[in-house]
Amino acid sequence: MYKHNNQGGQALSTALSPAQQAIQDEVDALKHTPGAMLPILHAIQDRFGYIPDEAVPIIAETLRHTRAEVHGIISFYHHFRTRPAGRHVVQICRAEACQAVGGRQLEQHAKSALGVDYHGTTLDRQFTLEPVYCLGNCACGPSIRVGDEIHGRVDPARFDALVDDLSATVVEVK
């Protein structure tokens, strides 16, 4: 049960939806961790792929923060999403080493090819494009990460080939 106070200060209980219960479970599992806010936000994003709006009041109430404080933390860290990501999250390294070897041109090409800007998701929900500030692959720039895979020396042609491979639908014939 999610508890909140009405204007008279009395605690009221509201039945939780399955999503709210899953959020409450994540919060309850980590609420006693020192500096619990970030571990809780990471756990919720790992579970849902983003931080749902209904997480904010649950986190705020449990950790005794204001909703504004919780929202401020979510919006401060670029890692946290407030909308579901596409099937594939493509991160382009924006560090100086990658920019020195064509990273800016790759950024422009990726935005044009996918038809979205950073933090945008394609209409078919296949790709979300995000900036990242170092992938630790400086000797092989420009680099991108798709999911958990890092790709180095990515030029526009290689980017297009990766997107084509990820867009391909596998059909099993029996």
CATH number for the domain harbouring residue 93: 3.40.30.10
Cα gap 153→98, rounded to integer Å: 9
Same domain membership, residue 50 and residue 100: no
Whether 110 is covered by a domain: the verdict is: yes
| Tokens linked to 66 | 């204001």
Let me know whether 66 and 96 are in one domain.
no
Could you tell me if 53 and 106 lie in one domain? no
Name the domain count of the chain. Answer: 2
**Other C-beta atoms within 10 Å of 9: how many?**
6
For residue 57, tell me if it sits in a domain.
yes
Give the residue, 23 or 6, on which the prediction is more confident.
23
Asked if 17 contacts 25 with a C-beta cutoff of 8 angstroms, the reply is no
Which H helix or E strand runs over 125? Answer: none
Residue 29: domain span: 2-76
Are 111 and 162 found together in one domain?
yes
Q: Which residues contact 125 (CB under 8 A, 6 or more apart)?
A: 84, 86, 87
Counting Cα atoms < 13 Å in the Cβ hemisphere of 77 gives: 16
- Work out the pLDDT band at 174, boundaries 50, 70, 90: confident
pLDDT score at 1: 45
Using CA atoms, how far apart are residues 81 and 120, in angstroms rounded to an integer?
11
Residues 92 and 69 in one domain: no
137-170 pLDDT, tens digit per residue, is 999 999 999 999 999 999 999 999 999 999 976 6
- CA dist 95 and 112 (Å) reads 20
Same-domain check for residues 67 and 92:
no
Residue 106 is assigned to a structural domain of this protein = yes
List, for residues 117-145, the tens digit of each pLDDT value.
Answer: 999 999 999 999 999 999 999 999 999 99
- Tell me the binding residues: 93, 98, 134, 138
Q: Which residue has the tokens 């995000």?
A: 130
What pLDDT, in 10s, does the model give residues 29-51?
999 999 999 999 999 999 999 99
pLDDT by residue (tens digit) across 50-87? 999 999 999 999 999 999 999 999 999 988 999 999 99
Same domain, 20 and 45: yes
Residue 78's pLDDT is 83
Kindly state whether residue 65 falls inside one of the protein's structural domains.
yes
Q: Is residue 47 part of a domain?
A: yes
- Binding residues for [2Fe-2S] cluster, as ranges, are 93, 98, 134, 138
Same domain, 97 and 133: yes
Judge contact between 100 and 143, C-beta under 8 A. Answer: no
Last residue of a domain, one of 56, 76, 96: 76
Among 76, 105, 133, where does a domain finish? 76
Q: Is residue 145 part of a domain?
A: yes
| Domain end call among 15, 46, 76 | 76
